[in-house]
Structure formats: structure tokens, C-alpha cells
Amino acid sequence: MSIVETLLVYVGIPAAIYAVIAVLVFARGGAKTTRYRPGKPWAHEPVWYLPRPVSVARHAAVPELTAGASAAPARTARGGASGTW
Amino acid sequence: MAPGESTSAESPFSAKQLARLDEALTLSSRETSVQFSLYVGELGANPRRQAEQLHSGLGAEAPDSVLVAVSPGERRLEIVTGEQTAKRLPDRACALAALSMTASFNGGDLVGGIVNGLRMLADQAGKPSLTPR
């Protein structure tokens, strides 16, 4: 092999491989990954998820959720658990 | 969240994570006829009371509901059971699920902890026909 060929094979190919990997890593690096890290503040609006209704009829029966600050309804909680981390 | 502090209105979870949460919520609710709901957000100075208020906000569904309230900012988890669901999910079962969830949360896995916790609660609650009401 000539010097040029040797350089291409032993330097060019590894460099190309590194370049491809670097592109793959950094092309997505700018995407906003909102990964949760314990101890970091949570800068999101509160969200409330309910299970998908079995049918539309049942969906109609589900009342609209009201804000917590409005007239306090009767206490419905009977038990449960708490946890911290 | 204190006024002036910026909050982003977009969902805190990716589409894939939302799909996992949706599947976990829907499957556990259908299996057990318990309506599981999940709240993720600030719970304020008195997390327990706030979670109980949220639970009562469910209205007519409240007795058959279980609310899982997670406040990642305050590192606080509350599980609230209603009148009917408390019979099927004793506090001890809820505490076990809470322990498993907080362990995952501590490792930074919010969605995994929630999904596993819902699974544990659903397993404990069992099928509705098997439990006399």
C-alpha cells in the first residue's frame, strides 16, 4: 500500500466512524429532553390524567374537573399513603 | 408554584412516556373498575390536604377513585383512596406501592415509578367481581 492508501485506511476510516457517531450524538442533543432529576425544580404546569373512558356514554357521565380553590366539597378521602424521596 | 416563576405549559412527558402512562392508567382502571387518576404538579404547603381536595374534586366518581398525586418539585407523593376503594386498597398496600414509586423517583425515573406503582395498586385491588362490596 502506498502512504496515501495507508493513511486513508488507518486514519481516514476511523476518523469517518468517529464523525458519524459524533453527528448522531449531537444532532439530537439540541432536542429539549425534559428529563426529571431529583432535587431540580419542576417547571411545568400541573397536569391531571384520567383513564380513557370505556365508552362515550361513560365519558359523558364524568364530571368536568373543577379548580381546587372553589367551594370546598365534602371530604371524600378515606385512606391512602404518603411518600417522600 | 410561586407567582412570577416560569412554568412551561407543554407536557412534562414525551409522547412515548404519555403513551405508557395512558396505557397504565387505562388498563389498571379497566381491570379493577377502580378509577385511577394521576396528578403531576405542585401540591403546596400541605400536600396531603391538597391531594385530598383534588380527590374530592372528582365529584361523583370520588368514592370509586384512587388519586395518585406526584409533586416532583417538592419530592412528595400522595395516594388518596375513596370510600369504596379504601376497602380494596388498605393503607398498607398503598404504602407498599408508594415505597416502590418513591424508590424509582429517587433514581430519576418518574414514569417508570408511576407505571409500576399503578400496576401494584391494580394487582392489589384485584378484579371487581372477586371482592364483595
Residue B4 resides in a domain = no
Domain limits for position B106? 15-126
Rounded Cα distance between A41 and A37, Å, is 9
Residue type at position B21 = L
Rounded Cα distance between A83 and B103, Å, is 10
Chain B, nearest residue to A53 by Cα: B26
CB-closest option in B8, B48, B97 to A44 = B8
Residue B2 resides in a domain = no
Q: What percent of chain B has pLDDT over 90?
A: 56
Please indicate whether, in this complex, the C-beta atoms of B61 and A63 are within 8 angstroms of each other. Answer: yes
A36 inside 8 A of chain B by CB = yes
* Listed residue (B12, B83, B74, B69) closest to B36, CA to CA: B69
Q: Is A55 helix (H, G, I), strand (E, B) or coil?
A: coil
**H-helix segments, chain A:** 3-7, 13-29, 56-61
Residue B6 resides in a domain = no
Residue B3 resides in a domain = no
Residue B9 resides in a domain = no
ipTM: 0.79
| Tens digits of residue pLDDT in A8-61 | 999 999 999 999 999 998 887 655 556 788 888 888 888 889 888 766 555 555
Q: What is the pTM of this model?
A: 0.75
